[in-house]
Structure 1
Amino acid sequence: MRHSLLLASTLALAACAGGPPPEVATPTPVLPPTFYYAPDAAGETALTGLLPAEDPGFDALASQALANSPTLAEVLARIDQARAGANRAGAERLPNIGANASVTGQRTNPNQFGASLPTGVEFDTERVSYAANLTARWDPDIFGRLRAQERAAIARVDAADANSRAVRNALLAEIAASVIDWRTLEARQAAIEEDIAAAEELARLAGVREEAGIAPGFDRVRATSAANASRSRLAALESERARLTGRLVTLTAQGAAQVRAALALDPPAPALPAPPAALPSALLANRPDVLAAAATLAAEDAELAATARRRFPTFDLSAVIGLLAFSPADLFDEDSIVGSLAASVAGPLLDFGRVEAEIDGAAAEKQAAFQSYRGAVYTALGDAEAAYGLVAAADRELAAAAAEAASLRRAASLAETRQKAGLADFLTVLEARRAADASGERAAAALGRARRARVLLWQALGGEPQPTTRSMSQ
């Protein structure tokens, strides 16, 4: 009869407070079947091939950054923090067993029982008790609130892991872009030095002609001015080197001397791989920011389920077994064994909307997480579309810049040949040389932009996937 009454009370509480949680639709965003700017014939390049992995400077700096970067170490600590929270949530589903011991002294005033005690009745006014207990408490989680909280905690571990991947990809992409910019500066410097050498040769020839009296001194002055203009461009490169050095110091957590030593390593000829094939749907599995948003959405869904289960009764089972004696010698007597066993059930009956308000708040959090997930998906799609388009545009710019440089240098060479043959004047040679100046530098800069565009594509497509912590949730 007693058990039946308890069960009936439980069902009554559940009926009063129960009900399904609110439905929050979270459909997977619909993506186009292909990228608009994807090349018609994508290369077989692996995603890693878009990075300057063949450059020993990049390899050294990337290794240093992955080992020492404070930013990366911070997000890895966030993973440990999230994992500790998941372990705590899992431990909440298990019994809590403890132990305690105590010695208690008590003194009683006999006057509290009146002026006098009945004849033959007396008691000790001072008493010392000795106790030792084992305690146990367990929530059987009948309605799954603790299980839902554990699922939420595990999903947050996945979100922290995906965020760490995003930081790692961003770190490698910035280092790669900085190394490419450095190599581009070296190529620009080489092109400018060629321009200076050509201008100095023209100035020397103009000086010879001036001394011979067959050319005015103005020709030598103009040739010298062209050389000085190239020297000015060359000097401007040093400020860009200083900026890149400072940026790499921040990214790698290394000193400037170590950074410059890594960049001093001789790189091979720069590669320009074809963009790899990819589908927009792959972003849902490869982009770490999308994975982080999806894991956060799963965590909010589990939090909503846990909050909704607060409308159901909670059960609590507890037990205590121990020893209680008033003399150390009696502590292990059979009569000193004491204990208790209890079971309780509690649930909301009339909370005047408190739980419903919490459920509505959790549903709003899930809705916000879903919109954040949608935003991450379309941000990834936009980044990938822009990156593919940027690669195509940079390749076209590179082809045009290379053709321009070749054409102008050939024109300058032909002008010099005609001038030596007496078919062109010095002004024609100087103008041809001035047109050719900076064309090699522009071609080098265009090559750098094309290589940089491939790094952006690597990051937009999700970079290289790393081992995740999803095994915890399986």
Structure 2
Amino acid sequence: MSRIVFGGGVGALAMLAAACSPTVHPPAATSVALPEQFTFQDTRQTGQGGTPIAALLPEHDPGFRALLAQALAEAPDLAVAAARIDAARAGLREAGAALLPGVDLSGQAAQQRISAAQFGGLPGAVRIDPYQGRFSLSADARWEPDLFGRLRATQRSGVARLNAATADATAVRLALVCDIAVALTDLRAIDRQYALLRDDLAQAEAFTALTVQRAHAGLAPDADVLSARAQVERSGGRLTTLEADRAAVIGRLVTLTGLPTDRVLATLATGSRDAASGPVALSPLAISTLALRQRPDVRAAEQRLAAADADIAALAAERYPRFDITAGLGLIALALGDLFTEQAIIGSVGANLSVPLLDFGRVGARLRRSEAAGAEAFAGYRKALFTALGETEAALGGLDAAAKTAAALNQQAALDRESADLAEARYRRGLIGFLEVIAAKRDSLTSQELALLGDADVQRRRIAVYRAVGGAPST
């Protein structure tokens, strides 16, 4: 490495910079093509009048809105993401500060004792003060004009990494919103099942009392009484199982939100009146494949690609000369009383030029490693984009199938409920046996539970679509 100190020639150096500056092309993120529309989406769903993405969440449930508002302020995952943003922002500030001049202020005070003997024999008339002092105060400035763009490339990398951290935080927020929505959907489905089984238990107890009366009157065998009581015990056992499932979902919400259990339960009670209702009907969705490029994880991958490109530019610039401008102003004196006199003032100004001559391929090796990291970042971006496409296609297809299944299950539940009511009426008139009534009631209960689970599956599929396309624009 050769270092030359000179006082002029800046214009010539600028011309050298223009001729030798490394050329690095921007990331080719937009070169990854996507289809114009989703395969599993009806072409009628691409109009502007379709359902907005935000409507896919259970916004009609006040409990969801209240719980989400508290979770966004308390959730541990969001706190971790915010800390990563702060770290990236600090890195960007450091990169920006490198473009500005640096000024150091230093001072020195020293006192030493010397011996006249160290100077050999001195004439008698020459006397040396054995105590020597040195006092100084100086301000030194240094600035690199960054003629070849190394520092600016580092700053671009910092900007891209901050953007990537922000997109990562948005992805964490999106995942939190969707996970809370899914957990709340599970909880509301459990509550609806619980209410259904509780009604079934009450009906089974009433039917058991009727069966006992008929048995005492000789109108029904004792075996019918045992079957009726077994039905009561079966419904009671199912309720206990649902209570355990509900506790597990509450635990999930506590983990997601970072809220204590009592606050979660109190917040959920806000929307308990909506637990009996299924998902609201929606018109066709208005989704474009262009929305996938704005998905948080895709944006993060694109920004990491931009950061990798900037890193390549910064490393490439290390092959070119580095130019620094320096200046200093200070005071120096042998006595403290003389430090602030005019004679103590010193100063300097200059420029340094460092030209790499021989590094045995160190920079080249680092550059090749950085280029490999750039290729990896591009592959990561492409993977993120097609992951988004695949997840959205699967979510759209699943939602369509779930909606059709839920419609069929609800229709079947209505028919089975009518059949069970008819069977009970016929039993009361003595037209059919007890086993036929039990079978009809079991079929009705099963079909009603399946309809409830079908409705819940529709809501989960809607949330999956919301997550797959990256949420609403404000998420």
TM-score, reference length from structure 1: 0.91
Residue in structure 1 matched with residue 402 of structure 2 by the alignment = 394
Residues 57 and 267 in structure 1, CA contact (< 8 A), matched pair in contact too? no
SS of the equivalent of 2:31 reads coil
SS of the equivalent of 2:382 reads helix
Match of 2:307 among 280, 299, 313: 299
CA distance in 2, matches of 1:167, 1:275: 28
Match of 2:287 among 263, 273, 278: 278
Residue in structure 1 matched with residue 463 of structure 2 by the alignment = 455
Give 5+ residue unaligned stretches, structure 1. 468-474
CA distance in 2, matches of 1:280, 1:199: 52
1:158 equivalenced with 2:163 (yes/no): yes
- State the AA in 1 paired with 2:221: P
SS of the equivalent of 1:36 reads coil
CA distance in 2, matches of 1:3, 1:99: 24
Q: Residues 247, 333 of structure 1: CA spacing in aligned structure 2 closer, same or farther, 3 A cutoff?
A: same
Match of 2:253 among 248, 260, 272: 248
CA distance in 2, matches of 1:436, 1:257: 36
CA positional deviation for 1:119: 7.1
SS of the equivalent of 2:228 reads helix
CA positional deviation for 1:267: 3.8
**Equivalent residues in 2 for 1:309-458, closer than 5 Å:** 309-458=317-466
Q: Residues 69, 322 of structure 1: CA spacing in aligned structure 2 closer, same or farther, 3 A cutoff?
A: same
Residue in structure 2 matched with residue 263 of structure 1 by the alignment = 268
CA distance in 2, matches of 1:425, 1:187: 31
Residues 192 and 438 in structure 1, CA contact (< 8 A), matched pair in contact too? no
SS of the equivalent of 2:318 reads helix
SS of the equivalent of 1:329 reads helix
- State the AA in 2 paired with 1:92: A
CA distance in 1, matches of 2:384, 2:363: 31
Residues 157 and 306 in structure 2, CA contact (< 8 A), matched pair in contact too? yes
CA distance in 1, matches of 2:411, 2:175: 34
Residue in structure 2 matched with residue 72 of structure 1 by the alignment = 78
CA positional deviation for 1:193: 2.0
CA distance in 1, matches of 2:8, 2:66: 73
Residue in structure 2 matched with residue 212 of structure 1 by the alignment = 217
CA positional deviation for 1:124: 3.1
Residue in structure 2 matched with residue 63 of structure 1 by the alignment = 69
Deviations 1:296-349 (A, max 9, x none): 110110010000000000011111111111223322322211111221101211
Q: Residues 157, 381 of structure 1: CA spacing in aligned structure 2 closer, same or farther, 3 A cutoff?
A: same
Residues 401 and 446 in structure 1, CA contact (< 8 A), matched pair in contact too? yes
- State the AA in 2 paired with 1:39: D
CA distance in 2, matches of 1:15, 1:456: 52
Residue in structure 1 matched with residue 91 of structure 2 by the alignment = 85
Deviations 1:280-300 (A, max 9, x none): 222102x10000111111011
Match of 1:28 among 26, 31, 35: 31
CA positional deviation for 1:19: 6.4
Q: Residues 183, 21 of structure 1: CA spacing in aligned structure 2 closer, same or farther, 3 A cutoff?
A: closer
**Equivalent residues in 2 for 1:86-105, closer than 5 Å:** 86-105=92-111
CA positional deviation for 1:433: 1.9
Q: Residues 123, 342 of structure 1: CA spacing in aligned structure 2 closer, same or farther, 3 A cutoff?
A: farther
CA positional deviation for 1:367: 0.7
The alignment-based identity, stated in percent, is 41
CA positional deviation for 1:223: 2.1
Count of residue pairs the alignment pairs up: 464
CA distance in 2, matches of 1:267, 1:214: 43
Residues 26 and 309 in structure 2, CA contact (< 8 A), matched pair in contact too? no
- State the AA in 1 paired with 2:107: A
TM-score, reference length from structure 2: 0.90
CA positional deviation for 1:153: 0.3
Give 5+ residue unaligned stretches, structure 2. none
CA distance in 1, matches of 2:222, 2:317: 94
Match of 2:113 among 107, 117, 120: 107
Q: Residues 444, 118 of structure 1: CA spacing in aligned structure 2 closer, same or farther, 3 A cutoff?
A: same
SS of the equivalent of 2:168 reads helix
CA distance in 2, matches of 1:81, 1:337: 43
Match of 1:235 among 237, 240, 245: 240
Residues 275 and 454 in structure 1, CA contact (< 8 A), matched pair in contact too? no
SS of the equivalent of 2:453 reads helix
- State the AA in 2 paired with 1:334: E
1:39 equivalenced with 2:6 (yes/no): no
Q: Residues 155, 441 of structure 1: CA spacing in aligned structure 2 closer, same or farther, 3 A cutoff?
A: same
SS of the equivalent of 1:320 reads strand
CA distance in 1, matches of 2:24, 2:144: 22
CA distance in 1, matches of 2:317, 2:231: 80
CA distance in 2, matches of 1:363, 1:23: 13
Residues 145 and 323 in structure 2, CA contact (< 8 A), matched pair in contact too? yes
Deviations 1:149-188 (A, max 9, x none): 0010011110011011001111111111111111111111
Q: Residues 401, 16 of structure 1: CA spacing in aligned structure 2 closer, same or farther, 3 A cutoff?
A: closer
CA positional deviation for 1:236: 0.5
- State the AA in 1 paired with 2:382: R
- State the AA in 1 paired with 2:269: A
Residue in structure 2 matched with residue 125 of structure 1 by the alignment = 130
- State the AA in 2 paired with 1:193: R
Residue in structure 1 matched with residue 140 of structure 2 by the alignment = 135
Residue in structure 1 matched with residue 196 of structure 2 by the alignment = 191
Residues 51 and 454 in structure 1, CA contact (< 8 A), matched pair in contact too? yes
Greater displacement, 425-434 / 163-172: 425-434
CA distance in 2, matches of 1:231, 1:212: 28
